[in-house]
């Protein structure tokens, strides 16, 4: 009778050890997926910040964005971006009345977006969003 109880305990212990070994085996062999958000390269980030700050402080460009609906075709705006664009990158920009504005880009590229909210003055309640997209050139 004593021997039969020992075999039951041993089988239970063997099952527990087997389960632990299987779990250890599974967790060591499964690849660990690290979810990482792509970081904006420093050259892109600094370029975007500089361009947006220039639009903020330059009264001509700021007025163009806030009041001129054809400002997206402005040579001064395009020249500012081209002069400060990192090598090997392409750009797109849009002036929007809302925060929901998109442009078509290649889906296989990493796209880096930054924007700024502009308004003529505190009395005017017609703010505009200037959004700048940068991605690796084509």
The one-digit pLDDT tens for each residue of the chain (138 residues) are 445 567 778 888 899 999 999 998 888 887 777 766 678 888 999 999 999 999 989 888 888 888 877 888 888 889 999 999 999 998 988 888 877 777 776 667 788 889 998 876 666 667 888 999 898 876
- Comparing C-alpha atoms, which of 64, 65, 72 is closest to residue 103? 72
Q: Distance between CA atoms of 66 and 31, rounded to whole angstroms?
A: 51
Strand, coil or helix: 56: helix
Smallest CA-to-CA distance from 66 within 35, 97, 36, 25 is with 97
Cα 119 to Cα 104: distance, rounded to the nearest angstrom? 26
Task: Look at residue 83 in the predicted model and tell me its pLDDT.
Answer: 94
pTM of the entire structure?
0.67
Q: How far apart are the first and last CA of the chain?
A: 81
Q: What is the pLDDT of residue 96?
A: 85
């Amino acid at each position: 009778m004593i021997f039969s109880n020992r075999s039951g305990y041993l089988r239970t212990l063997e099952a527990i050890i087997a389960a632990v070994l299987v779990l250890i085996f599974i967790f060591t062999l499964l690849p660990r997926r690290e979810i990482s958000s792509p970081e904006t390269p420093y050259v892109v980030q600094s370029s975007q910040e500089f361009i947006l700050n220039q639009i903020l402080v330059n009264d001509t460009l700021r007025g163009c964005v806030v009041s001129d609906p054809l400002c997206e075709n402005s040579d001064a705006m395009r020249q500012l971006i081209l002069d400060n664009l990192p090598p090997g990158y392409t750009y797109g920009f849009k002036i929007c009345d809302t925060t929901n504005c998109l442009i078509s880009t290649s889906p296989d590229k990493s796209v880096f977006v930054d924007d700024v909210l502009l308004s003529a003055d505190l009395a005017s309640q017609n703010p505009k969003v200037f959004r700048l997209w940068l991605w690796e050139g084509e």
